[in-house]
Amino acid sequence: MDDNILRYTLRVNRTLFQKFRYVADYEGRSANREIEQYIKQRVKSFEEEHGEIEVKKD
C-alpha cells in the first residue's frame, strides 16, 4: 500500500451518510472520492484565507 495513503475511520449518522452517498453517486464518485474532494476544497479555502499550511515530513 502507498505510504502516502492514510486510513481514517469516520463515524457519522447513518441517514446523513446515505444521503451523502447519493450525492457522491450523482457526481460519479465513490463516497471516499467525494470526501477527498470536500477535504481538498476546505484546505484550499483555508489556505487562501490564512496562508499555506506547512506540513512536517516524517
Residue 21's pLDDT is 98
- What pLDDT does 31 receive? 96
* CA 18 – CA 21 distance, rounded (Å): 5
Q: Rounded to two decimals, what is the model's pTM?
A: 0.82
Q: What is the structure's pLDDT at 57? A: 80
pLDDT-flagged residues of the chain (< 50): none
* pLDDT score, position 2: 73
Cell 500500500 locates to 1
Contact 39, 31 (CB under 8 A): no
